[in-house]
Amino acid sequence: MKVTRRAVVRSLLGGGTVAALAGGAAVAQGYRFGVTRHARTLAGLREPLRVAFLTDLHYGLYIGPGSVAAWVDGTNDLRADLVLLGGDLLDARMDELSPDLLRELRRLRAPLGVYSVWGNHDYGSFGRYGSRQYGEPRADWAARREQFRAGLAGVGVTTLRNEGRAVRGDLWLGGTDDLWFGPPDPAAALAGAGGRATLLVTHNPDVLPTLPGPAGLVLCGHTHGGQVRLPLLGAPVVPSRYGQRYAMGWVTGAHDTPAYVSRGLGLSGVPLRNLCEPEIALFLLSPA
């Protein structure tokens, strides 16, 4: 078969069209989200419990108030008893407290409250990354993080750093500090649980193999499910020392502790997702 210049150009244009369409689909997927529902028992519960878990919002570089507003609306529609945020609320390249983010988070509704933990990007937004850009002393980073924590508290979001709360007579909620900048202390977060059912929120799933004791259920984020996944191969890059082991979904930590690693909602690194739709996870927990 004779290969002509016209045939080569047509082939190249066709390949470019396919790549452009694939890239456009990946961008679009990054700004869609779904709700995943998970029903299971939780030892110690006396009454059913609905928990909504949102993580890795990454507000700032690629995510604006419109996306957060849609996530908040979707969460409120679920009528959860408890709303949990798994960290990385801010993008690491954003170095100012955002009133738009706080305004949207204020609208979250849950009778048992809204709680959050720190992620590495929450530290980075007011610390390690900011230092190169602004040359600010470390004391200023800590002050900015405290301002952010106070801002969250002002809109009804309680930040847990290696501490816990009895959010209901039969339920203890613990939250740890971030693995990279904390360090996390699951034992401190669960101290005081007594015979209550236990939920533990920790941003990074790499905490799971070193849990000092069992928990009823651990919720994590951080990995984004790899964010870009390939057919048959999975995610080429997962930000975990354990590779694909804790990329996403149901996993098991130390002491046979069940854990769920959410794909998260926001975008980091590149404004793309592929075969890895953002999610709000709803847990329908019932007495064992």
Q: Which residues contact 161 (CB under 8 A, 6 or more apart)?
A: 117, 118, 175, 176, 177, 182
97 three-state secondary structure: coil
Q: Is residue 69 assigned to a domain? A: yes
pLDDT on residue 28: 64
pLDDT on residue 142: 80
pLDDT on residue 3: 40
Mean pLDDT in runs of 10 for the chain (288 residues)?
42 38 57 95 98 97 94 98 97 69 97 97 71 51 86 97 98 97 96 97 98 98 93 88 95 98 94 93 97
Question: Residue 146 belongs to what domain range?
Answer: 31-287
pLDDT on residue 8: 35
8 Å CB contact between 87 and 222: yes
pLDDT on residue 97: 59
Task: Locate all alpha helices (DSSP H) within 207-268, ordered by sequence.
Answer: none
pLDDT on residue 24: 58
The count of structural domains within the chain is 1
Q: Is residue 182 assigned to a domain? A: yes
| Domain at 109, CATH number | 3.60.21
pLDDT on residue 131: 42
Separation of alpha carbons 53 and 114, rounded Å: 10
Q: Is residue 227 assigned to a domain? A: yes
Q: Is residue 50 assigned to a domain? A: yes
Q: Is residue 269 assigned to a domain? A: yes
